[in-house]
């Protein structure tokens, strides 16, 4: 009788781990998916990746009567499945989310139901394996998936913003699980976002935009830069997203579109200016959606309406009776448009990130501070 002489594998006792995962569920610590149990030893491995004091307060939010420390964010990162060396990026991401200004204004509790879109720039993208190319909004990449998820776990557990309680989201959004991309700086014809924001190319930066939804713009139908931007502008000005007189917007341009725009002489600033001028709805479209009153559609020749001045194009109709063909522009300034290049250079696809209203700081941003 033949004898199998290969060494017998020692069975691994996974029961304690499974019990710990179930314990985290029982405590209400998860986003619905299993978390990595944040044992003290694991959290210490994270804290060893930063020079920052574990008790340093990153933000204190009065409405919750709670503050977030470096240690608590490290716990969230461990639970999310991050590797310890991701911690400086997670801390920068958290600071960028706070920097945007929405958390203190109650955005995490809002019925509008968005979550932070994180954008990673600089060398840390390749050092830690952030995806900036194909499936950039989709699954498959640990750094993107877990850094984004760490934000949600911090919001849930550090501040207690849970659905059906403090989180009043009417429908929420899939991005609330995790929404983290890296800019495809290599395939972009323009300067990367963090350089535009005043940092050095050798810096690594996380930017944040509290986002309600990502709308795709599929245009493989024309090589005309203006028509592509008109298509993007149509999504920017979708009536369902028009709530106030002012809005800001993120545009994640696919490399194919970006290279096509640049080849026709458009700088990033040109793209922003074109989108401001061409992201509009006609007054009749707003009327059909019942939003003409809410928008206080200005009188055609009335310059006394302050911030509304110039948003509608006069058509010669009587004052006080704006015509249905007049344009209601949803953007006021190129500075209200964020342009990032991400995705694979394999199709004419871009996306519009619709943020919550008019973010106080646009975008929120923070430098990644690696351990010295």
Partner 1 sequence: MADTILLERRGVPSAAICTDALRASADAMAAIQGAPGYRYAVVPHPVSSLDADGLRSHARLAAPQVLEILRGPGGGAGPGD
Q: List 216's β-bridge partners, or say none.
A: 351
Among residues 50, 109, 211, 279, which is the contact residue for partner 1, using CB under 8 A?
A: 109
Q: Please state, in angstroms and as integers, the Cα–Cα distance from residue 106 to each residue in 57, 62, 109, 359, following that order.
A: 19, 10, 6, 12
Phi first, then psi, for residue 143 (nearest 5°) are -60, -50
Minimal distance, residue 260 CB to partner 1, in Å: 42
Q: Residue 164 CB, nearest distance to partner 1 (Å)?
A: 6
- Minimum CB distance to partner 1, residue 204 (Å): 35
Decide: is 187 part of the binding site for partner 1 (CB under 8 A). Answer: no
Report how many residues bind partner 1 under the rule CB under 8 A. Answer: 11
Interatomic CA distance for residues 234 and 215, integer angstroms:
11
Give the start-end residues of each E strand in the chain: 57-61, 66-69, 115-121, 180-182, 205-218, 249-253, 280-282, 327-329, 337-341, 349-355, 364-367
Between CA 82 and CA 96 the distance in angstroms is 18
Nearest approach in angstroms of CB 170 to partner 1 is: 9
Place of tokens 């395939």: 187
Binding span for partner 1 by CB under 8 A among 11-19, 57-65, 123-131, 302-310? 57-65
Q: How far is the CB of 293 from partner 1 (least distance, A)?
A: 10
Binders in 144-183 for partner 1, by CB under 8 A: 160, 164-168
Please give the radius of gyration of the chain, using alpha carbons only, rounded to the nearest integer: 23
63 touching partner 1, by CB under 8 A: yes
Instruction: Say how many residues make up the chain.
Output: 372
Residues 286, 308: Cα–Cα separation, whole Å? 15
State which residue, 109 or 184, has the beta carbon closest to partner 1. 109
Three-state DSSP class for residue 59: strand
Continuous segment of H or E residues that includes residue 154: helix 142-157
Q: Smallest gap, in angstroms, from Cβ of residue 160 to partner 1?
A: 7
CB nearer to partner 1: give 161 or 260: 161
Instruction: Supply the minimum distance, in Å, between the C-beta of residue 299 and partner 1.
Output: 22
* Residue among 5, 26, 40, 65 that touches partner 1 (CB under 8 A): 65
For partner 1, give the closer residue by CB, 36 or 166.
166
Among 1, 26, 62, 306, binds partner 1 (CB under 8 A): 62
- The C-alpha atoms of residue 90 and residue 84 are separated, in whole angstroms, by 10
Q: Min. distance of Cβ 112 from partner 1 in angstroms? A: 12
Q: What are phi and psi of 249, to 5 degrees?
A: -150, 150
Q: Which stretch binds partner 1 (CB under 8 A): 15-23, 61-69, 115-123, 342-350?
A: 61-69
How do strand 57-61 and strand 337-341 relate by DSSP bridges? unpaired
Listed ranges 56-64, 199-207, 268-276, 341-349: which one lies at the site for partner 1 (CB under 8 A)? 56-64
Q: Looking only at residues 284 through 323 of this chain, which bind partner 1 when binding is defined by CB under 8 A?
A: none
Phi, psi of 2 (to 5 degrees): -70, 140
> Considering only residues 29, 64, 177, 358, which one is a binding residue for partner 1 as defined by CB under 8 A?
64
Rounded Cα–Cα distance for residues 277 and 215 (Å): 20
The CB-of-286 to partner 1 minimum distance in angstroms stands at 16
Q: Does 105 bind partner 1 (CB under 8 A)?
A: no
Contact residues toward partner 1 (CB under 8 A) are: 62-65, 109, 160, 164-168
């Amino acid at each position: 009788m033949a004898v199998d002489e290969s060494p017998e594998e020692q069975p691994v006792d996974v029961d304690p781990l499974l019990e710990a995962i179930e314990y985290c569920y029982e405590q209400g610590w998860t986003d619905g998916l299993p978390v990595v149990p944040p044992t003290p030893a694991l959290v210490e491995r994270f804290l060893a990746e930063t020079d920052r004091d574990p008790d340093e307060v990153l933000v204190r939010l009065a409405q919750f009567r709670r503050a977030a420390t470096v240690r608590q964010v490290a716990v969230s990162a461990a639970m999310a499945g991050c590797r310890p060396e991701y911690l400086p990026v997670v801390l920068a991401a958290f600071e960028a989310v706070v920097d945007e200004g929405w958390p203190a204004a109650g955005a995490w509790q809002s019925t509008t139901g968005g979550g932070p879109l994180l954008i990673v720039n600089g060398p840390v993208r390749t050092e830690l394996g952030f995806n900036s190319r194909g499936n950039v909004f989709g699954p498959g990449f640990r750094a993107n998936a877990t850094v984004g998820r760490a934000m949600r776990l911090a919001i849930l557990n550090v501040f207690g913003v849970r659905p059906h309680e403090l989180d009043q989201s009417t429908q929420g959004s899939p991005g609330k699980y995790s929404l983290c991309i890296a800019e495809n700086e290599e395939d972009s014809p323009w300067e990367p976002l963090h350089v535009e924001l005043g940092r050095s190319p050798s810096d690594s930066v996380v930017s944040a935009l509290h986002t309600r939804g990502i709308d795709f713009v599929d245009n493989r139908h024309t090589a005309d830069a203006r028509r592509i931007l008109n298509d993007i502008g149509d999504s920017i000005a979708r009536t369902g997203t028009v709530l106030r007189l002012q809005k800001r917007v993120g545009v994640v341009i696919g490399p194919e579109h970006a290279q096509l725009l640049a080849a026709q002489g458009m700088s990033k600033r040109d793209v922003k200016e074109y989108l401001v001028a061409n992201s509009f709805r006609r007054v009749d479209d707003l009327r059909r959606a019942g939003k003409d009153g809410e928008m206080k559609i200005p009188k055609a020749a009335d310059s006394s309406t302050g911030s509304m001045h110039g948003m509608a194009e006069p058509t010669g109709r009587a004052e006080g009776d704006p015509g249905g063909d007049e344009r209601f522009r949803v953007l006021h300034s190129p500075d209200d448009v964020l342009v990032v290049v991400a995705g694979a250079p394999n199709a004419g696809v871009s996306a519009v990130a619709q943020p919550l209203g008019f973010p106080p700081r646009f975008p929120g941003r923070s430098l990644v501070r690696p351990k010295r």
